A and B are shown apart, each in its own frame.
Chain A
Amino acid sequence: MVEAVAVASGKGGTGKTTTLALGMALAEEHDVTVVDADTGMANLLFHAGLGDADTTLHDVLLGEAPVAAATYDRFGMRVVPCGTSLAAFEAADPERLREAVATLARGTDVLLLDSPATLGSKSAVLPVVLADRTVVVLEPTIPALSDGLKVGEYAAAYGTDVAGVLFNKVRGDADAVVEKTGRYFDGPTLGQVPASEPAREARRAGEPLLAHAPDSSAARAFRSAAGRLDPKPGAAARVADRFRSAVIPDPP
């Protein structure tokens, strides 16, 4: 039983660090698997002498490895690097993709999908299409809000609920902005993560915030937001079917 959750942010956002922070916070209560289609995130997950991932989902879809060989334990989560963009799986065998995702989904509570900070390509939008719900990550700037509103509309168009909005890099009192933003989204406000020195240090060190400064105010805000997410596990087969039909469309 699983819920697929996409994490999508506006232009210039900090997509990968936010996805990791939310994932690690969720992993304190739930079994979390991150499907990583972002090479930037791979850098964060596989640095510090752990070496690059030898086997990826790409190898699994070529029939060269079992799913278990492409699954890595990192920071309390399971991580499945794609080895390529999600859209590149279009060329895969549909049944093999379906089976691989079903295998991943059967053993986890939350399948976390990182969405690149753009809506400009099929690869970037796929996580939102594949997810049951999307967390929209915002910063209190006009372009980030504008893009976040667009993410919300893309999600609605593709039948994906908004799990909530999460404000990141907040300085000072942003309550009025947060309250006004909430009027334009269907989901709740999950929280405000302050712009803080520990968060900047974690970025400079190339480490996930919750590993670098687990007691910082920013880390606590991520935990509180994750607590409000309340995963609602559904059937693994349904998530697998969605991957199969969205990643590999039937020929017209």
Chain B
Amino acid sequence: MSDPPGDGPRLPRGELLRSRVVPDPGDLLEDALDRRLTGYATVVPGDALLLDVRGRGLLTFADGVPVVAYHERTGRGGESALADLVRAPWRVELLACGASGLAEAHDVAAWRVPPGVPAERLAGVPELAERTRRLAPDCRTDPDAGDLGAVEAFLDDTERIERVKTEARAEAERRAEEWGFSDQVTE
């Protein structure tokens, strides 16, 4: 295992398999698993152009199983980078490449994620996480390893959580009128 280079993973160009907007991370993870993809996905929020959000999220796969997560905007890798990918829908490109092109990135311990964590903690699909863990090589499955790093990183981002809450409050107030709850709305 090596230290992370400062400028993020260097990945080969790869063969583009799919480019589309998906509503939910589970969709991408399932596709990669079903294809037994060796390659990587680039992810930007579907509304990135509107929000002027820069930088891509990167998720690499070996035989369909996630290996490395990294986000160019935050410079974070590993489970923390998964929390940087939260904002759906995702605009996703799925690319295939040889395993040798991923070897350097896969050698950086700080960027690696446990196999089932993206499906379990980012997508919230435990069945897909279980399928992923079953297909992962034995050397990558440690039943005692903690796997809540992505969830903790999500909760540490106070600013983003306040944004989620503010948006939900505004949505609730807007819908109150539509659904006839105006009498119930509190100031």
Contacts and interface: CB of A to CB of B under 8 A. Distances in A.
Contacts, number: 107
Contacts of A169: 126
A139 B172 CA distance: 22
A149 B124 contact: no
Given A157-B173, A157-B176, A149 B154 contact: no
Contact of A140 (B86, B122, B151, B185): B151
Interface residues of A, number: 37
Given A11-B124, A122-B179, A154 B148 contact: no
Contacts of A143: 122-124
A59 to B, nearest CB: 24
B121 A142 contact: yes
B120 A158 contact: no
A159 B183 CA distance: 10
Contact of B165 (A129, A153, A177, A242): A153
A141 B181 contact: no
Interface string B152-175: 101110000100110011011101
Contacts of A142: 82-83, 86, 121-122, 124, 150-151, 154
A244 to B, nearest CB: 11
- Interface class of chain A by DSSP: helix
The size class of the interface chain B forms with chain A is 35 or more
A149 B151 contact: no
A149 B168 contact: yes
B6 interface: no
Contacts of B100: none
A59 B122 CA distance: 43
Contacts of B2: none
Nearest to A249: B180
A125 B185 CA distance: 13
Interface in A166-196: 169, 172-174, 176-177, 180-181, 183-184
6 contacts: A141-B120, A141-B123, A176-B148, A180-B156, A246-B181, A249-B183
Interface of A: 10-12, 122, 125, 129, 139-146, 149-150, 152-154, 156-159, 169, 172-174, 176-177, 180-181, 183-184, 242, 245-246, 249
The 5 closest A-B pairs by CB, nearest first: A249-B180, A157-B172, A153-B168, A143-B124, A150-B168
